Amino acid sequence: MDSLLKRITSEPGKFGGRPCIRGLRIRVVDVLDLLAAGLTHEEILKELPDLEADDIKAALTFAGKRVDHPLIAAE
């Protein structure tokens, strides 16, 4: 899993530091949006030929880690 997350980069000069795939100008959110729109992994790889299959897995892993946080309920 850690090896997948190494594929996610963030640079201040690219997209305002938003997470990208391997320093490319492809944001993690772009990959997630394509998945949410119903595209298959194969269709995404065809749409974005610079991507590799593990990049899609990395985007999903990254997103999963970002949303997996405890909620603190006020009483």
Residue 75 has pLDDT above 70, yes or no: no
Residue 14 has pLDDT above 90, yes or no: no
- What secondary structure does DSSP assign to the chain, as a single string? -HHHHTTEE--TTSGGG--EETTSS-BHHHHHHHHHTT--HHHHHHHSTT--HHHHHHHHHHHHHHH--------
- The 10s digit of each residue's pLDDT in 32-60 is 999 999 999 999 999 999 999 999 999 99
Sign of the C-alpha dihedral, residues 26, 31, 32, 34? positive
Domains of the chain, CATH where assigned: 2-67 (1.10.10.10)
The arithmetic mean of pLDDT across residues 14-24, rounded, is 94
The arithmetic mean of pLDDT across residues 11-31, rounded, is 94
Average pLDDT, rounded, for the chain: 93
